[in-house]
Amino acid sequence: MKKGANIQLQRVIGYFHGTMFLFSIIIGAGIFMAPKGVLKYSSLNVGVSLSIWAACALVSMIAALSYAEMGTTFPRSGAQYYFLKRSLGPLIAFFYLWIGLFSTPAGLAARGLLLAGYIAQPFYPGCSVPEMPKKCLALAILWCLGILNARGVKEVAWFQTVSTVVKMTVLCFVSVTGIVLLVRGRKENLARFEKAFDAEVPDALQIAEAFLQGLYAYSGWGILVQIAGELKNPSENIPKCVITALTLVALIYLLVNISYLAVLTPKEIMFSDAVAVTWVDRVFPSMQWAISIGVASSIFSSLNCTLLAASRVLYIASQEGQLPLILSTLNSHSCPAVAVIHTLIFASLVIIPSDLILLINYVGFTNWIQLGLMMMGLLKLRFQEPNLPRPYKVRLPFIFGSMAMSLFLVLTPMIKSPKMHYFYVLLFILSGLLFYLPFVHLNLDSTYFNKITCFLQLLLNVSPTDDINECISAEETLQKNPPEIAAKKV
């Protein structure tokens, strides 16, 4: 580390790269996996399936705009963690952190295995990929992403822009081709849409499951709040990026699903292991490589964004004293390298014994628990601190709508079809008390921790940030002397 260097997170991401980040993390594996799940839980009803995709876009937009208020009110990296600590107290913030410590690496492991499977499949024609090569490749992918993240947010931003252009090209190709085939298609293909609602109508539990599948494809819209400390003018750019990105993603997702259904029957989609590959086999068999590139770039860039965002939450939690100090240190590229390494170690451990489907189930369930907590905190802070400067202020119906959706998606499966893994998740969340009480609440410390911190600083060439006290001081000044900013409502 150079003497005299300014060690702090840099605000280098503007509107364009912010929108690219959202595209990158949202358009991941979901659009290639979720259509099968949405159709399955929609009872193969084409009309209900497409309606759920549109409804998922609306729910995601409402939740993302509600979430955006946190990043504009507290424009610092890991803003949602700091916000929870401010609104609901340190215990709830620690529960959020405790969930993320394991659910985020689990999500990284699941997508890493999926990407490794897509890359390795051409080398094993006619059979499934063996587990050992797939897991080794997944580990290599994750640690390559760790090296890229350690180079700083500017390098990550340019990589995300390139990968987004690649996957958007592939998805636009699928969308346009499907629409052309539909216009010139046979009567039975058109009849599939003319009689879209003629099939069986799903019940409440099936609708909840279909929503979870569809929302998985839209997940990741909160990344700009997680990296708010590295955004230029976050009060304006966060809402603008959210509206731009989610509107375009919703349009693309609907067109891609229509394209799938223009070529394949609902049953063919149901029995397909890879819908996009089955689609291209039917339309352009020689273009399989293009779909493979699109899927690989989608998952790879989504993994990269997730790793970036997860490290920022650990960074702010360390600054707030709920994690070891070493996690808030930065390298010469202004990256919390130790936080990145910590996340990768956990993800690597999860990959070894992992079950892909089980991992996705756990991650989806915990994500909506976390969103419910966020909305409760947002509502409480509105009434507890009404004069808090809010450059962007979402309308209350959006908050209540997000809370209602969170409760519906968490409670409906537990009540209608209780499964043990839901209760295991809740027990795991409560087990965080075993760590919170001694290490955070009672603040037990050891000289060994200090020695380990010093050793890791020298080994990894990292340093504490220069702006911890400055950020706290600036925030206290902001609360005492709020600027005259008109609150924007959406």
Residue 81: pLDDT over 80: yes
Token look-up 């509206």 returns 243
Question: ∠ at Cα 44 (302, 29), nearest 5°?
Answer: 10
Q: What is the pLDDT of residue 186?
A: 61
Contact 303, 112 (CB under 8 A): yes
Give the residue, 89 or 129, on which the prediction is more confident: 89
Q: What is the average per-residue pLDDT within 287-308?
A: 82
Both tokens of 156, joined, read 């990550």
Expressed in angstroms, the distance from the first to the final Cα of the chain is 44
pLDDT level of residue 361 (50, 70, 90 thresholds): low
Provide, rounded to the nearest whole percent, the portion of the chain with pLDDT above 70: 85
Contact 68, 378 (CB under 8 A): no
Most confident of 240-254, 385-399, 415-429: 240-254
Residue type at 442 in one-letter notation: L
Provide, rounded to the nearest whole percent, the portion of the chain with pLDDT above 90: 11
Residue 193's alpha-carbon distances to 182, 227, 257, 260, in angstroms, are 10, 42, 12, 12
Q: What is the average per-residue pLDDT within 363-386?
A: 83
Rounded to whole angstroms, how far apart are CA atoms 425 and 287? 42
Reduced to 3 states (helix: H, G, I; strand: E, B; else coil), residue 75 is coil
Residue 432: pLDDT over 50: yes
Give the residue, 431 or 363, on which the prediction is more confident: 431
Most confident of 35-44, 118-127, 248-257, 424-433: 248-257
Residue type at 465 in one-letter notation: T
Residue 143: pLDDT over 90: yes
Contact 488, 391 (CB under 8 A): yes
Residue type at 271 in one-letter notation: F
Rounded to whole angstroms, how far apart are CA atoms 268 and 300? 27
Reduced to 3 states (helix: H, G, I; strand: E, B; else coil), residue 107 is helix
Give the CA-trace dihedral at 163, 57, 257, 15, to 10 degrees: -20
Contact 225, 80 (CB under 8 A): yes
Residue 381: pLDDT over 80: yes
Give per-residue pLDDT as tens, 331-350.
888 889 999 999 999 889 88
For the chain, the structural domain boundaries read 15-479
Residue 471: pLDDT over 50: no
Q: What is the average per-residue pLDDT within 404-408?
A: 85
Residue 195: pLDDT over 70: no
Both tokens of 435, joined, read 């760590």
Residue 202: pLDDT over 60: yes
Residue 189: pLDDT over 70: no
Helices (H), 219-336: 223-226, 234-263, 266-270, 275-283, 288-319
Q: What is the pLDDT of residue 237?
A: 92
Give per-residue pLDDT as tens, 7-21.
677 888 899 989 988
| 77 strand-pairing partners | 227
Rounded to whole angstroms, how far apart are CA atoms 99 and 364? 12
Rounded to whole angstroms, how far apart are CA atoms 364 and 421? 12
Q: What is the pLDDT of residue 103?
A: 79
Rounded to whole angstroms, how far apart are CA atoms 151 and 333? 6
Contact 226, 80 (CB under 8 A): yes
> What CATH architecture does domain 15-479 belong to?
Up-down Bundle (1.20)
Of 265, 255, 222, the C-alpha closest to 71 is: 222
pLDDT level of residue 325 (50, 70, 90 thresholds): confident
pLDDT level of residue 476 (50, 70, 90 thresholds): very low
Q: What is the pLDDT of residue 185?
A: 66
Q: What is the pLDDT of residue 112?
A: 86
User: Considering the chain, what is the average pLDDT of its residues?
Assistant: 81
Chain centre distance of CA 237: 19
Residue type at 77 in one-letter notation: S
Rounded to whole angstroms, how far apart are CA atoms 288 and 295? 11
Contact 148, 304 (CB under 8 A): yes
Segment among 304-318, 386-400, 436-450 with least mean pLDDT = 436-450
Residue 425: pLDDT over 80: no
Contact 70, 388 (CB under 8 A): no
Helices (H), 320-355: 337-351
Give per-residue pLDDT as tens, 215-262.
878 888 888 888 888 898 998 999 999 999 999 999 999 999 888 888
Q: What is the pLDDT of residue 147?
A: 92
Residue 135: pLDDT over 60: yes
Residue type at 411 in one-letter notation: L
Rounded to whole angstroms, how far apart are CA atoms 159 and 171? 19
Token look-up 């998606």 returns 409
The C-alpha R_g of the chain, in whole angstroms, comes to 23
